[in-house]
Each structure stands twice: as structure tokens, then as C-alpha cells.
Structure 1
């Protein structure tokens, strides 16, 4: 015989009578403080009224002493305020009241409890069944049925037992439904967090790949130029020749390390990208493409032609994402793209006037701003984004273009 069910049943029995109670249900008092205060006052008055009704019933029909009637009335009503905070204690007090509530009953009575006590017993069973584990619930059902078989008239025993069982099953179904919904909500939250984390990682990986393609080209040029320099310069002293060789070796070693990094970033199934990366020279084509799609875009660009390739790529991607966000969140708005080089920095600004409406994909929740900010920070720059005074939206990036932050 498997001892596991016996251990589970024994542990459930110990918890029922002497174990820790279940966590309390937290009510949203801070959200509706006035309603909570009114509900507390009404609940207190209801408890006092139920106690008076039960005590009066026992005094009139059972002819009990006043102190005994009030004690049984208190045991009858006491479980109610404990249902949400201490469900096991609520049932324990209810069970004691269920036993003592039959005190001095008449043999001809079909029901050994007062009408108030019957309603409270039924309510406690449903609420407690919706809070406790199934093993504990089985013991609660067994102990709650004992007074029925002892004190209830034989012709009513089967009906009352079936009613108790149905209420316990109903409470258990409520508990399972609440647990399932809570688990689904937690799973959905974890999925959203995982999707957000994955989107950020994918954007970072894409940026790293593009940076690799750009920097690898320049490192290759450095290695080639360092190797051919002695032949192009003619007579070169040996120390200088050795220095050129060292530069070429360092450049090729850096290329090898970058290829290893790229091998980690790229999946096995993805083909290597060989297309040239865009830069600021491709901005007019990008704006023209947006205009053909129906956007009212104007471009004001005045930048030097010798801009570092990583800066040009980052600026292009920021403008590309800014136009995509404008189309997504402010469809029909006029968009102005400004690119200026000043004091060793490249200023990129994408602004819409706020007259548009959200497009079909304007629900939000993407990671475009995160990707743009990471591109700017990777180059030692900054990016700010926010609502303008006229209700539009502006993205402003400043990227160093003097080469110091890019090569460091």
C-alpha cells in the first residue's frame, strides 16, 4: 500500500485542527476608502443584528439561560468576520457552534439549528471550500457531516448531506477557477516580459551585426594599408617596417575576434549579410519612400561627406525608426527630418506636428525608442524623445562625429 496518501491525509488533518491558516484575502481598500468604511460599518451592524436574532430565537424556542443563549449566538456569528482573513479558524468556530447549537433542542424538531445558524453554516462551507486545499476540504466535509447524522431527523439527513456535498464541490470549483486564472495571468505576464527581453536582445544583436560589418571593413583597410605601405613608400627603415607589420597583425587579430563574436551572434540558419549598410547619403531615398507611402515628410540635411560610417548608419536607423513611429502613431501628420553637423556632433531630429491619428498599427508596446537610444549610447551620444508643445512628438539624437568616442 502506498503510504503517500496516508501521509497527505494525516498532514491535512493536522493542519485542519492545529496547523497554520491560509493567507488572507486582500481587499482593495485604498482604491475605494469611503466605500470600505461604509461596508465595514454595515457589516458590523449586520453581525450585531444576526447575533440578536439568534439569541432571541434560542431564548424563545429553546428556553435557554440568557448567558448560554448569548454564547451560542456569538459562536454562530463569529465565523463571518474571519472568513477572508482566517478561513480555517472560521470553520473551527463554526463547527463548535454547529455542535453547541443543538443544545436543549426538542426531540420533535426537524432541524436542530436556528434558521440564522443554518444560513451561516452553508455560507461558511462555500467560502472555506473556495480557500483550502482539497485534502483539507475532504476532512472539513467529513467533520461537517457528523452533526448532521447525529442530530438531524433521519428523513432529512440525506437531503442535508447532499446539500453540504454540493456546496463543498461548488467552493472547490471556485478555488480551481481562481487558481487557473491567476496562473494564466502570471504566465501571460512572464510571456510579455520574455517577449520584451527577447525583442531588446534581438535589437542589440542587430546593432552589433551592423557595427561589425562597418568596423570590419575599416579594420581590413587598416591591415591592407599597413602591409602595402612599405612597398608604396620605397626605402623604409627596418623599425618602421616592423611597426607596419605590427599594425597589420593587430588589425587582423581584431578582425579574427570580431568574426568569432559574429559567429556567436548569428544563428546557424541565417545567411551572412553582404549588402552594403545605409548611411546619410541614403536619407533622400528613405524620405522619398515614405512620401510614396503617403507621409508628408520634409528633409533638411546638411552634413559633411567624411562622416564616420558608424555615425552615418546610426543616424540613418534613427531617422528610419522615427518615420516608422510617426506613421504608426500619428498617421497623416506632417513630419520634418533635420540633420545637422555642428561642433563635432551630428544632430538628428524627427518631429511630427501631432495632427495625425494612430494608424492601424498604432497600439504601441514596441521597442523602437529602446533601439534608437542604444544606438546613440553605443557611439557615446544621447537621445531624447517626448511630446512637443503643440501636441506632436519629437526624437532628438546627438552623435559625436569627431571620431574620439567611436574609436575609444
Structure 2
């Protein structure tokens, strides 16, 4: 025998009797504070009025003591303030009031509750049915019908039972409709996010294709021409051969970086982003490649321990871009690269002496912006500007500890 429905029924019974309530529903008037304040005042006056009417009805028809009549009247209207915030608590109070409402009734009465209490019972039932699960709703309906079968005249029991069942079904249909609409809205949102994601992937693929067709092609041609130039030109001096080899090596390295970038752009996952990235350990290779290209560079790097990978990558890229800027805007100038640890931060400085030529017709790019973004993303600082000696310096201070650079 499958005990799953039995367990579900027991769990629902425990929740009905003393279990946790359902999440509160925000008031539809919360967007209008003044209207909500007026509505609260009007609601409080309405509750007092309903309690007065109920107490007077009980005093006239049941001949109850004043205290007892007021107790039943308060139990009658007490569920209403809890309907939106605590539906199960509203029903529990209503059920207690439903039982107490039959107190001292005359045996000849066909209907043991006051008109106000009947109205409250119906409102609570349909509201609770629109908020709770079906298993909980079944127990709520069963408990609510018990006083009907016990205290209502037999000739009226069937009609009242049908009325309660219809209200519970209507409330459940409202709940199912709300859940369906919510599910459709979530599905539509997921579809929009998926479409946006596909649009981003398509744009990244287009960018990767353009980079491959334009930049990678030209870099390949530069590498091939540099490698074959000594053979096409006949006897070439050794320094020139070394320079051609350096040009070819730089082009090949640029192609490698370009292919890595294209892989990241084309990838739909983060796997490509986790491939090994350069760091401070690769700085000597970077400087050596720049020297082979004809630059005069002094490297002063004394870092006792490897910084976190993001910090090392940012430092490498800042030095790389700083050397590229010096080659473009101050060709032939002496460059000094300094990488030091200062009070827990990694200080990176690339400065040229300004004695080189400044080629005309080369527009500015986004190098400085990229360096600044790398430094700021790690919680560091970045400055760039001319030096007193007529050169140009870029400086970055990158934190090596804390949240921005965990060690």
C-alpha cells in the first residue's frame, strides 16, 4: 500500500491544527500610503460596527450576558484582519468563533449563527481556499462543515454543505489561476533571458569572426613576411635577421593571444576563461621580446611571493600595454619597468624618458582606459601622465590581500 497520500494527509492535518502559516500577501494599497491609511481607519470602524451589530443580535435573540455576547462578537470579526497576512490563523479564529456562535441557541433555530458571522465564515472560507494547498484545503473544508452537520437543522444541511463546497472550489480555482499566471510569467521571463543570452552569443561570435578575418589574417601575414624576408632579400646582416625574427615572434605571440581571445568569445561556458593566464613570472619573457623588437628596457622586479592570480594578470597586462604605448608614442626611448611590493600592495610603474621619436598619424586607443579598469576592478588605483623630464609614466597600485585580492 502506498503510504505517500497518508503521509501527505497527516502533514496537512498538522499544518491546519498548529503548523506554519502561509506567506503574507502584500496589500494592494501599499503603493498609495495615504489611501492605505484611510482604508485602515475605515476598516477598523467597519470591524467595530460589525462587532456592535453582532453583540446586539446575540443580546436580543439569545439573552446572553453582555460579556459573553461581546466575546462571541469579537471572535466573529477577529479573523478579518488576519486574512491577507495569516490565512490559517484567520480560519482557526473563525472556527473557534463558529463553535462559540452556537452558544445558548434555541433548539428551534434552523440557523445557529448571526448574519454577520455567516458573512465572515463565507469570506474566510473563499479567501483561505485561494491561499492554501489542496490537502490543507480538504481539512479546512471538513472541519468547517462539522458544525454545520452538528448544529444546523437536517433540512438545511445539504444546501449549506453545497454552498461551502462551491466556495472552496471557487477559491481553489482562483489559486490555480494565479499559480498558472505566475508560472507563465516566469516562463516568459526565462524565454526573454534565453533570447538575450542567444543574442549576446551571436554578437560575440560575430565579433570573433571579424577579429579572425581582419586582425588574425594581418598578423599571420606579418609573421610570414618577417620569417621569409631574410631569404627574399639575399644577404641580410645578423642584427637585421634578429630583428626580423623578433618581429615574427611578436606576431606569433599576438596570434596566440588572439586565438585565446577568440576562444573566450566563441565559448558558451566559462571553461575558456579558466585557461592559464600570464602573470609576474612571465614578465621577463615579455621584456625580452620587447628588447628583441629594438626597445631599451630596464626591468626592476623584486616580488618575494607570487601575488593572487588576478593581481598578477593585471600587473602583466599593465606592463604589456605600457610597453606598447612607449613603442608607439616614444619609439627609441629608454623604458624602465618597476614592480615592487609596498605596504601589502603591488606597485607597478612603466616610465619612458621621452627621448624617442613621436610618430605622427597614430590615433589614440583604449589602452589607458583598459589599464585603469583593471586596477579599479581589483580595488586599486591608476594614474598616467607626463613626467618632469619630458617622458611619460603609468603607475598602478594593486591590493594583494583582502577581498579584492585574496591570498
Q: TM-score, normalised by structure 2?
A: 0.63
Gaps of 5+ in 2: 268-359, 371-407
Give 1:245 deviation, angstroms.
4.1
Residue in structure 2 matched with residue 170 of structure 1 by the alignment: 170
Residue in structure 2 matched with residue 196 of structure 1 by the alignment: 196
Cα gap change, 1:377/1:128 in structure 2, threshold over 3 Å: closer, same or farther? farther
Cα gap change, 1:345/1:226 in structure 2, threshold over 3 Å: closer, same or farther? closer
Measure the CA separation in 2 of the matches of 1:116 and 1:28: 25
Residue in structure 2 matched with residue 96 of structure 1 by the alignment: 96
CA contact (8 A) 2:201 2:266 kept: no
Task: Spell out, residue by residue over 1:211-251, the C-alpha distance to the aligned partner (whole angstroms, 9 max, x if none).
Answer: 22111121122122112211233322456535534543553
Residue in structure 1 matched with residue 332 of structure 2 by the alignment: none
Cα gap change, 1:377/1:53 in structure 2, threshold over 3 Å: closer, same or farther? farther
Residue in structure 2 matched with residue 159 of structure 1 by the alignment: 159
Give 1:252 deviation, angstroms.
4.5
Measure the CA separation in 1 of the matches of 2:74 and 2:222: 91
What is the SS of the residue equivalent to 1:170? helix
Measure the CA separation in 2 of the matches of 1:343 and 1:67: 97
Gaps of 5+ in 1: 268-341, 347-375, 382-408
Give 1:96 deviation, angstroms.
0.4
Give 1:60 deviation, angstroms.
0.3
Residue in structure 1 matched with residue 122 of structure 2 by the alignment: 122
Measure the CA separation in 2 of the matches of 1:144 and 1:243: 94
Measure the CA separation in 1 of the matches of 2:366 and 2:144: 67
1:6 matched to 2:18? The reply is no
Give 1:38 deviation, angstroms.
1.6
Residue in structure 2 matched with residue 225 of structure 1 by the alignment: 225
1:81 matched to 2:81? The reply is yes
Residue in structure 2 matched with residue 21 of structure 1 by the alignment: 21
CA contact (8 A) 2:79 2:94 kept: yes
Measure the CA separation in 2 of the matches of 1:167 and 1:39: 26
What is the SS of the residue equivalent to 1:23? coil
1:2-401 equivalence runs, <5 A:
2-238=2-238, 240-241=240-241, 244-245=244-245, 247-248=247-248, 251-252=251-252, 254-255=254-255, 258=258, 344-345=362-363
What is the SS of the residue equivalent to 1:167? helix
CA contact (8 A) 1:110 1:152 kept: yes
What is the SS of the residue equivalent to 1:105? coil
What is the SS of the residue equivalent to 2:26? coil
Measure the CA separation in 1 of the matches of 2:171 and 2:362: 71
What is the SS of the residue equivalent to 2:131? coil
Measure the CA separation in 2 of the matches of 1:161 and 1:185: 36
Task: Spell out, residue by residue over 1:195-226, the C-alpha distance to the aligned partner (whole angstroms, 9 max, x if none).
Answer: 22332332232122212211112112212211
CA contact (8 A) 1:72 1:100 kept: yes
CA contact (8 A) 1:130 1:174 kept: yes
Give 1:185 deviation, angstroms.
1.5
Measure the CA separation in 2 of the matches of 1:224 and 1:245: 10
Residue in structure 2 matched with residue 333 of structure 1 by the alignment: none
CA contact (8 A) 1:227 1:245 kept: yes
What is the SS of the residue equivalent to 2:108? coil
Task: Spell out, residue by residue over 1:290-314, the C-alpha distance to the aligned partner (whole angstroms, 9 max, x if none).
Answer: xxxxxxxxxxxxxxxxxxxxxxxxx
CA contact (8 A) 1:209 1:265 kept: no
What is the SS of the residue equivalent to 1:124? helix
Q: TM-score, normalised by structure 1?
A: 0.63
